[in-house]
Every structure is written in structure tokens, then in C-alpha cells.
Structure 1
Amino acid sequence: MAEPQLIAPTVDVHASFLAAMEEFRADGAEAAPHSNLAGELRTWAARWRSVEGFAAYVELTGGVERDERADGVVAKSTRWWVADGRYLGRVTFRHSLTPSLLDYGGHIGYAVRPGARRRGHATAMLRAALPVAHHELGIDPVLVTCDDTNTGSRKVIEACGGVLEDQRAEKLRYWIHATATATAAGQESHRRG
């Protein structure tokens, strides 16, 4: 298998994307209260099946969208984690923070399809997303949050240089600076070398 990459959404992974969405649905993703993926499962699932509906979704998701929240609107963009034409997950970038995103959502949200979990994709995906946030979107530091019960996500964030600031309700809040990202990437390439 080729190394996965973060790419702009594409119609080329239609079948794999549909299979991944069924995995997410079976895993209960629609019930997540603050999840873009949950909202998309509820509003797009019926349209994704058709070639035209999926193309419309890809066009919308591939650009900069408006993320409307009760406390404001922020720009957001999405990249997909793909290897050999297979959809493995996604990263959503929120270009700025509203009060609720500052407490619960952060700048980056990510999801690995259930069938591809526990293979290092989340860590690799977040590592690949951080330079996009820092260099392309000018976000430094980056806020990434996770549920206090999500040990796997906590380990991913910490492996990518996340420094815990605090806990608000059930959310742990981590900040990742560009320098921490470069240090973590250097350590990883040293381990592989």
C-alpha cells in the first residue's frame, strides 16, 4: 500500500467513501453532538449514493465552507486521508475559533474510518495536517481537543506535540505550536532513519 496522503476531496474515492460512511454510521458517529461528520451523515447520506450528489458534496467540501454555529460562523476546509484510492479518514480545519470552538471543538477535527483504526493513521494524519494549519492557514498555535475518556486520541495529540492546557467539561484542550510540530517530525524521521 502506498503511503497515505492528505488530499482535497475527490470523486475518485466514491465507493470507498460510501463504505467508510457505513462504517462510521455502524459505529454510532451520527450521535456525536459536536461533530461535522455527524451532521454530514444526517444531511448528505441520501445524496452521496448518486454520482451527481457525491460530486456536489465533493465540490462543496473541497472548498472553504462556512461552519455555522450558535455563537458565530467560521470558515472551514476539509482534506481526506487517502491511500491507493481508498478513503481512510478526514481532517477538518476551522480557520478561527468561536467561544464554543475554543472550549470544545478546536481548530482541527479528525476521524479515521473504523475499519482502518489502530494502524497509526490518526497520528500520521494529524502530523500531516499541522503544516497545513501552520503554513497554509496561518494558525499557530493550533488548538486540538478530545474527550477526556478518549485515551487513543489523547495519545495521538500528545505524540504530535500537543501540550495540555486544561479540561473544560468533558474536553481536554491541547495546544500545538509550529516549533513542536517540527520537533516531533524530526524525532519521527530520526527513529525511522
Structure 2
Amino acid sequence: MPELILPTARLGPSFAAAIREFLAEGRGGPDDRTLLGDLIRQAGPPEDTGPWIARVLDFERMLTDDPPASFVPCTTYWWTDGDTYLGRINLRHRLNEHLREYGGHIGYDIRPTARRRGHATAMLAAALPHAAALGIEKALITCDDDNIASRKVIEANNGVFEDQRGTKLRYRVPTAPGGGPRRD
């Protein structure tokens, strides 16, 4: 049964295979301004080696322990099934001005070969209690206006449409049953 875990070297080969899938669909290029794109550029070409996965884990830890000045602290979780990496979700501990407009509290990616199986919906549901533990009562989650799949994931997790800014749809998602007052 899939579960959220902290990134681990044990899944290095499966994670490397997933990165190859993302690269095949064009992720990781200079125009990919996502955390996944940043990770791909930082860690370099995917390899099934100890040094490569160590670079991946260093990047993931840096986001929580010592983020660059332009980042807010966040925790990355991997969605896994046994030794198979399925996806990742980033939970930002707070929002800065840019994230309030475009990125939100939570961002996620499912590897291409694991899509359309409900993993994104389940992964987001599993991450919401972690957001609640950080004091986030209603997580801001955004998606592109043409990303129907992501919109369905957010709405399946009780996301309430807030507004649209440019091409970004903005939703508030309660992190605990019953939600609570809006909080950044």
C-alpha cells in the first residue's frame, strides 16, 4: 500500500528511473521553474549510484534545513509503494509573496508511469495532516488553469476555489476535518 516517507537512498534506483521519465517528457530544462526542475539541475543526470542519490538527498534536506534565501523552508515527502518511487510532494512551512500568488503551500509530481491511478489524490490527502501539524489550517494550492487532472486532485481533497491570477487557479484546502479559519 503506498505511503508517504522521507526521501531515502534505498529508493535510489527507482527514483533515478522516475527522473528519466520526467526528462523524457521535457522536465528539468532551464524553463522548468519547479522544485523538481531545480532538483534535476542540481543533482545532474540520473544514475543508479550512491553519489548521485546522495546529491538528491542533500538537495531535499537543504530545502528543510538550510534553504537558499529565495526559498522558504519546506519538507519533501516521497510517495512510495515498497521499493517503488511513485511521486513527491513538497510542503512549504510558510508562504512568501511569490508563493502566495503562484506556488502555494503544496506542490506535487507523480512519475509519468504512475499517473491516472489515484496516487496524486491519495498523496495529497496523506500530506494534509502534516500541513495541519505545521499550523496551516487551510493550505493554499495552485495549478495551471489548463491542468484538469491537478484541479480534480485538489477538488477531491475538498479544495475550494478562491480565485484565478493569470493562468493560476488558487484553491484553499482544509488540512484537518472541518478545516478552520484561513491562515498563511
CA contact (8 A) 1:146 1:171 kept: yes
The match for 1:92 among 82, 90, 93 is 90
RMSD of the alignment, in Å?
2.0
Aligned counterpart, 2:166: 169
The whole-number CA distance in structure 1 between the counterparts of 2:46 and 2:13 is 13
Is the Cα contact below 8 Å between 1:143 and 1:174 reproduced in 2?
yes
SS of 1:96's partner is coil
State whether structure 2 residue 4 is matched by structure 1 residue 6.
yes
Secondary structure at the counterpart of residue 71 of structure 2: strand
1:50 Cα shift?
2.9
Question: How far 1:49 moved relative to its partner?
Answer: 4.5
Residue identity matched to 1:140: E
2:106 corresponding residue in structure 1: 108
In 1, distance between residues paired with 2:113 and 2:45? 22
TM-score (norm 1): 0.84
Is the CA contact (8 Å cut-off) linking 2:142 and 2:171 kept in structure 1?
Answer: yes
Q: Determine the structure 2 residue equivalent to 1:191.
A: none
Q: Is the 8 A contact 2:131 2:175 kept in 1?
A: no
Contact 1:8 1:80 in 2 (8 A): yes
User: How many equivalent residue pairs?
Assistant: 177
Unaligned runs of 5+ residues in structure 2 are 180-184
Structure 1 residues not aligned, in runs of 5+: 185-193
SS at match of 1:87: strand
* Secondary structure of 1:81's aligned partner: strand
Tell me the residue number matched to 1:51.
50
Residue 76 of structure 1: CA displacement? 1.2
1:20-99 → structure 2 map (5 Å cutoff): 20-31=18-29, 33-46=32-45, 49-62=48-61, 64-68=64-68, 72-99=70-97
Displacement of 1:47: 7.1
CA deviation vs aligned residue, 1:125-167 (integer Å, no higher than 9, x gap): 00001111112x2212110100000000000000001001000
Task: Choose from 136, 141, 145 the match for 1:139.
Answer: 136
Structure 1 counterpart of 2:6, one-letter code = A
Q: Tell me which residue corresponds to 2:115.
A: 117
Counterpart-to-counterpart distance in 2, 1:120 and 1:143: 21
Counterpart AA for 1:38: G
Higher helix share: 1
Give 2:53's aligned amino acid: F
| Partners of 1:163 and 1:174 within 8 A in 2 | yes
- Give identity over the alignment, percent: 45
Provide the residue aligned with 2:148 in structure 1: 151
One-letter amino acid of the structure 1 residue matched with residue 96 of structure 2: T
- d(CA) in 1 for partners of 2:45 and 2:165? 35
Asked if the contact 1:106–1:145 (Cα under 8 Å) also holds between the matched residues in 2, the reply is yes
